[in-house]
């Protein structure tokens, strides 16, 4: 079987998590990496996991010249600059089959459009990596309920949430670099999953038309003085000056353009979930049927007593964002597969090797960016936005949330 020689730009948390997923692939290998930090560590990690030699390259141009496709696993604020270098490499002769961008595609609608334009400039197939859509729980639920959907009608209400105690790296907490708070960081997951499960069988991922959005954002845990100090000590980010929301909830209404039926996608996200670790909770409700996915339900449980807790090597090997090292712990034996990373990259490799775009491309990612920005706008204006209004669409073109501007205190602190 032909394998895709993949190159990573960036060597942080998501790059390592993707390596854990690539252990289960037979159509992709990690051929190289370019990163300002931790490149040699990623190389060793790749080799130890048997997913590729992962040669360390000294420039993006050199990486592109020695790989079939590259993945942008860099912070949100660096995406455009990095993509511009990829485009220059292609113009200089690098024969790439495609380019991947981890969620979210961009911080604003304007940035998302720029990334789409750059890829089109050199006719590069694109993959938007939204792993949760590829979760086996989601895919299997839709397959299991296919006869019910055909007989009774499609799912009409989807609820999707992602919650944990907060991001890994300091830049995630800085709204001016990340592009917001938990809504920008994780809302993109939940909005995409809801949109996807509401979509009628056999239709493309962007078939349903978004018609309205409402949203509320709050600073509940990390706005408290004691927690603000912990955040400042840990990351250097001062939420008394530039706060970002740690909780959001909202509702997107979609319309079927063929039947006129309206369906609802509810999203809830937080950085204040102080339990075992990361929780994904998804539901789909149709006429006469329902499914539910809960990532904290596992066939494996581990108990660690106080005397043994110091021996724990890495709490996050049990569960991403784990907050405890003792007691009764939920463990996911294959977290990368549970969250959809394995099937996401398998599908991307298959598509690029066949000269195609995967199911989710950057145009789709740009639509998710627009829905997230519309959610921020709705929260600021404290009303439901009509997404069919041309004036609203025009306003979104140049919109940057107050949180992303570093002015979150104007709406998060009364």
Q: Kindly report, residue by residue over 205-257, the tens digit of the pLDDT.
A: 999 999 999 999 999 999 999 999 999 999 999 999 999 999 999 999 999 99
Under a CB-based contact definition with an 8 Å cutoff, are residues 180 and 193 in contact? no
**Above 90 in pLDDT, residue 333?**
no
Q: Kindly report, residue by residue over 278-300, the tens digit of the pLDDT.
A: 899 999 999 999 999 999 888 77
Beta bridge partners of 302: 329
Beta bridge partners of 289: 286
Residues 118-134 have a mean pLDDT of: 98
Under a CB-based contact definition with an 8 Å cutoff, are residues 209 and 255 in contact? yes
d(CA 391, CA 399): 12
Per-residue pLDDT at 253:
98
* Mean pLDDT estimate for the chain: 94
Under a CB-based contact definition with an 8 Å cutoff, are residues 87 and 122 in contact? yes
Using alpha carbons only, give the angle 187, 192, 196 rounded to the nearest 5 degrees. Answer: 155
Nearest to 300 by CA among 322, 278, 328: 328
**Above 80 in pLDDT, residue 328?**
no
In the chain, % of residues over pLDDT 90: 88
**Above 70 in pLDDT, residue 315?**
no
Per-residue pLDDT at 387:
98
Per-residue pLDDT at 292:
96
d(CA 95, CA 100): 15
* Torsion angles phi and psi, residue 294, rounded to 5: -135, 110
**Above 60 in pLDDT, residue 378?**
yes
Per-residue pLDDT at 319:
54
Under a CB-based contact definition with an 8 Å cutoff, are residues 30 and 19 in contact? yes
**Above 80 in pLDDT, residue 394?**
yes
| pLDDT interval class at 316 (50, 70, 90) | low
**Above 90 in pLDDT, residue 6?**
yes
In the chain, % of residues over pLDDT 70: 94
**Above 60 in pLDDT, residue 21?**
yes
Half-sphere exposure of 314 (CA within 13 A, CB side): 5
| pLDDT interval class at 321 (50, 70, 90) | low
Beta bridge partners of 126: 99
d(CA 142, CA 145): 5
Q: Please state the separation of Cα 191 from the chain's center in Å.
A: 10
Q: Kindly report, residue by residue over 130-177, the tens digit of the pLDDT.
A: 999 999 999 999 999 999 999 999 999 999 999 999 998 999 999 999
- Beta-carbon neighbour count of residue 404 at 10 Å? 23
d(CA 334, CA 320): 11
Element (H, E) at 32: strand 28-34
- Beta-carbon neighbour count of residue 386 at 10 Å? 14
**Above 80 in pLDDT, residue 369?**
yes
d(CA 397, CA 379): 17
Give the DSSP per-residue string, 259-275: T--EEEEEEEEES---S
Per-residue pLDDT at 128:
98
- Domains in the chain, please, with CATH? 4-131+341-361 (3.40.50.720), 133-298+333-337+369-412 (3.30.360.10)
- Beta-carbon neighbour count of residue 170 at 10 Å? 14
How do 69-72 and 4-9 pair as beta strands? parallel
Per-residue pLDDT at 276:
76
Per-residue pLDDT at 297:
86
SS3 188: helix
């Amino acid at each position: 079987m032909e394998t895709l020689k993949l190159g990573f730009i960036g060597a942080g948390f998501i790059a390592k998590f993707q390596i854990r997923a690539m252990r289960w692939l037979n159509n992709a290998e990690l051929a190289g990496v370019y990163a300002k930090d931790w490149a040699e560590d990623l190389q060793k990690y790749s080799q130890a996991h048997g997913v590729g030699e992962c040669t360390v390259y000294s420039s993006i141009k050199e990486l592109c010249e020695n790989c079939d496709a590259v993945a942008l696993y860099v912070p949100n604020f660096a995406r455009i600059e990095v993509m511009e270098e990829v485009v220059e490499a292609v113009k200089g002769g690098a024969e790439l089959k495609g380019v991947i961008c981890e969620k979210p595609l961009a911080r604003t609608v304007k940035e998302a459009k720029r990334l789409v334009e750059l890829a089109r400039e050199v006719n590069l197939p694109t993959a938007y990596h939204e792993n949760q859509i590829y979760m086996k729980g989601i895919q299997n639920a839709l397959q299991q309920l296919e006869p019910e959907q055909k007989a009774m009608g499609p799912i009409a209400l989807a609820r999707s949430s992602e919650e944990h105690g907060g991001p890994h790296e300091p830049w995630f907490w800085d709204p001016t670099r990340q592009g917001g708070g938990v809504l920008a960081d994780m809302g993109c997951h939940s909005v995409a999953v809801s949109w996807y499960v509401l979509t009628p069988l056999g239709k493309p991922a962007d078939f349903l038309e978004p018609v309205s959005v409402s949203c509320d954002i709050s600073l509940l845990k990390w706005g408290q003085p004691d927690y603000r100090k912990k955040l400042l000590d840990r990351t250097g980010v001062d939420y008394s000056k530039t706060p970002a929301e740690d909780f959001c909830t909202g509702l997107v209404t979609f319309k079927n353009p063929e039947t006129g039926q309206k369906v609802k996608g509810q999203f809830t996200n937080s950085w204040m979930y102080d339990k075992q670790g990361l929780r994904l909770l998804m539901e789909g409700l149709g006429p006469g049927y329902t499914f539910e996915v809960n990532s904290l339900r596992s066939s494996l449980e581990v108990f660690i007593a106080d005397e043994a807790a110091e021996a724990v090597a890495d709490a996050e090997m049990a569960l991403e964002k784990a907050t405890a090292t003792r007691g009764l712990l939920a463990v996911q034996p294959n977290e990368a597969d549970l969250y959809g990373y394995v099937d996401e990259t398998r599908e991307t490799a298959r598509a690029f090797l066949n000269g195609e775009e995967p199911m989710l491309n950057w145009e789709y990612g740009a639509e998710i960016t627009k829905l997230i920005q519309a959610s921020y706008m709705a929260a600021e204006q404290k009303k439901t936005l009509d997404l069919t209004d041309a004036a609203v669409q025009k306003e979104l073109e140049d919109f940057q949330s107050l949180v992303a501007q570093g002015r979150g205190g104007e709406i998060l602190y009364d």
